[in-house]
Structure 1
């Protein structure tokens, strides 16, 4: 959606394609400062050099990633990704801030009447489910409605777990190596 509005936004690196010409023109990984979120950094370098971008959503380009084998490895992956968010453009930072603000306002005790909370939360789940259904159809996939509705609870639980794991002191692990937060 953001890319359709001309705002650069990227996906996970294993689902990202960069042409050879754009890669070489940007200097490639060889000329970038080390980062454990190198795919995001490459995308920024490529778009900064004026190369176009598109987010494709069709069965012919669908890339399905293998899930992380354990909860700990999933949290380690997300902590590494969180390191990359420090350099996101204003509109993505703003979207993440609105996401956090929505839940803060919605569930702040006594701030809103329970009927309003239920209406807003139900509306969010409805819109989110419609968006997921539409996107899945664009790539030739379908999902059980119960799974789509449960996604909200997964999203909330994972968001809190990732936030806690990210601020918890510890290393960032990537490609069987460990880095401090500053090194990553």
Structure 2
């Protein structure tokens, strides 16, 4: 519960650019949070949107004192995009904790309370969970992919092995954020959530991976394979900058099945056995994850997940290697 000597305990920082189709859904979920409204502030940074994002925000937040709208027109030295927005919002924030969420996210009412439970002594950052809104098969596979990866991250967190942050569901202490100098000190990155997470960990703070349905955010999914490739090209930048265990685990796992298929030419029985075991391990892990997190609507995606992830691993590597600029929110990087 909020501390009596601190009126604002939590600052929710939300960067938005051209989100007219998503922003009201996000704002409604934040307005419904089961937390004293006088103890939170929700600061929305409009990153120079050229659609109706600003109009929707301003109309919704009328007479809602916990919401604050900030028009971002200035670009801080060395920063651009979302990192530039969040850097400026942090200086408007007064809370003890900074919570990060994206404009295409709907949060559960229990989000703040259950994330706060994971802040122990010297914990600087807590990473939450996210899945896609149920809408089509690709969305289910993406949900399964996120929950599978976050389950691995959860396991690694028991040994304080840092893997990644997640900008659509992450919280940091004010102390840790400013101890590293904020985004101004970190500098620009297309994967600003990962760089913030790693900077806090490298400063000596502990981290935690929250793992329960009460902190599970629901994202709008990408709807086409072309959109997915754009998203993954950006994500791979973070993977290739990440802890060596993460980077090489992805590279090796993405090439394992192709290697076994080639090996089958000489050793068919052994190769097929190993592929079968790989399928079983992946599928059992996926089923355990959706059971623990009470997302049983994903059982079909869990059974077929091995086929999806086996193909996507190689596609992501090839997509990353291919030349070309990254495009995100109408901007090229």
TM-score by length of 2: 0.50
8 Å contact from structure 1 (residues 132, 148) kept in 2: yes
Equivalent of 2:275 in 105, 109, 121: 121
Q: What is the aligned partner in structure 2 of residue 47 from structure 1?
A: 201
1:103 aligns with 2:279: no
Distance in 2 (CA, whole Å) between partners of 1:97 and 1:164 is: 11
Cα distance in 2, alignment partners of residues 38 and 144 from structure 1: 29
Equivalents in 2 of 1:58, 1:73: separation in Å? 29
Q: Does 1:93 align with 2:247?
A: yes
Q: Tell me, in whole angstroms, the C-alpha distance in 2 between the residues paired with 1:125 and 1:48.
A: 35
What secondary structure, in the 3-state scheme, does the structure 2 residue paired with 1:63 have? strand
1:168 Cα offset (Å): 2.0
> Matched residues in 2 for 1:84 and 1:34: separation?
12
Q: State which of 19, 24, 27 in structure 1 corresponds to 2:181.
A: 27
CA distance in 1, matches of 2:230, 2:255: 25
Aligned residues: 179
What is the CA–CA distance in structure 2 between the aligned matches of 1:23 and 1:52, rounded to whole Å? 13
- CA–CA separation in structure 2 for the residues paired with 1:129 and 1:97: 20
Could you list the per-position Cα deviations for residues 139-170 of structure 1 after superposition, in whole angstroms to 9, with x for gaps in the alignment? 22114544212111111222232222222221
Q: Matched residue of 1:165: which SS?
A: helix
Q: Secondary structure at the match of 1:14?
A: coil
Q: What is aligned with 2:68? A: none
Q: How does 1:94-173 map to 2 (within 5 A)?
A: 94-110=248-264, 112-143=266-297, 145-173=299-327
Greater shift in the superposed pair: 132-141 or 105-114: 105-114
5+ residue gaps, structure 2: 1-154
Structure 1 SS opposite 2:223: coil
Residue by residue, what CA displacement relative to the aligned partner does 1:43-78 show, whole Å, maximum 9, x if unpaired?
A: 111111111101111011112222113211111110
Q: Given the two structures, how large is their TM-score scaled by the length of structure 1?
A: 0.87
Q: SS at 1:18's partner residue?
A: strand
Q: Match for residue 84 of structure 2?
A: none
**Structure richer in strand, relative to its length:** 2
Residue of 49, 64, 70 corresponding to 2:224:
70
- Give the Cα separation in 1 of the matches to 2:298 and 2:217: 20
Measure how far apart 1:6 and its partner are: 1.6
Answer whether contact 1:26 1:49 (CA < 8 A) is retained.
yes
1: CA distance between counterparts of 2:187 and 2:298? 43
Q: Is contact 2:290–2:296 with CA below 8 Å preserved after alignment?
A: yes
Q: Within 1, Cα distance between the matches of 2:293 and 2:264?
A: 42
Asked if 1 retains the 8 angstrom alpha-carbon contact of 2:212 and 2:292, the reply is yes
The structure number with the bigger radius of gyration is 2
Aligned to 2:190: 36
| Preserved CA contact (<8 Å) 2:233 2:319 | yes
Secondary structure, counterpart of 2:161 in structure 1 = coil
Q: Give secondary structure in 2 for the equivalent of 1:2.
A: helix
The answer on whether the counterparts of 1:57 and 1:135 sit within 8 Å (CA) in structure 2 is no
